[in-house]
Amino acid sequence: MPRKPPAASPPPTEDEELDIAIIILRAALRWKQNDLARASGIGNSSISDYERQKKTPGRKNLRKILQSMGYRESVIEFTRRFLHELRSTQRLAPGESLETAAEMPSGSLVSFNELGMRTRVEQVTQEVGRTTELALRLLLDMLGSRGGPPPEDGNS
């Protein structure tokens, strides 16, 4: 009797992806956990806890981690989008094999037929949601750095 594929897990939340993002960014530099701990001034056990999702780094420690590796803060969102692409458009469609995937024209990702219209609509919807979230965060950061919105009566 053929085995059923495992049920798809729900998409991870941002905090759930932070552990993987830190691991990817550290691995991209070929650093070990103790290299990151030494460079960031954060204890090796804390780095380990962040990567094992035992703890979530606060904003201050996340900045230390990114700064010590020479990354901009925006790299976290870039890494999340990369993970999303790996989990969605770069996976084989149901019933697709490596051989049939290799027959696709070079440079194309996945066509509507392979993924199905529903899957593609879901992907676009998620991207629109992420873009909207990023735009709102940027706006709120800008307003926060200026001390809030300008007075409504026009007097500064």
Taking the domains of the chain in order of start, what are their residue ranges? 14-71
Q: By the 8 A CB rule, do 88 and 130 touch?
A: no
Does the predicted TM-score (pTM) go above 0.75?
no
Q: Given this model, what pLDDT does residue 153 score?
A: 59
Which two three-digit tokens encode residue 79?
Answer: 């890494």
Query: Mind listing the pLDDT tens digit of every residue in the chain (156 residues)?
Result: 445 544 444 444 556 789 999 999 999 999 999 999 999 999 999 999 999 999 999 999 999 999 999 999 999 999 998 888 888 877 777 777 877 666 555 445 555 455 566 666 777 787 888 888 888 888 888 888 776 555 665 555
Burial class of residue 18, CB neighbours in 10 A (0-12, 13-18, 19+):
buried
Say which CATH superfamily domain 14-71 falls into. lambda repressor-like DNA-binding domains (1.10.260.40)
Q: Given this model, what pLDDT does residue 5 score?
A: 47
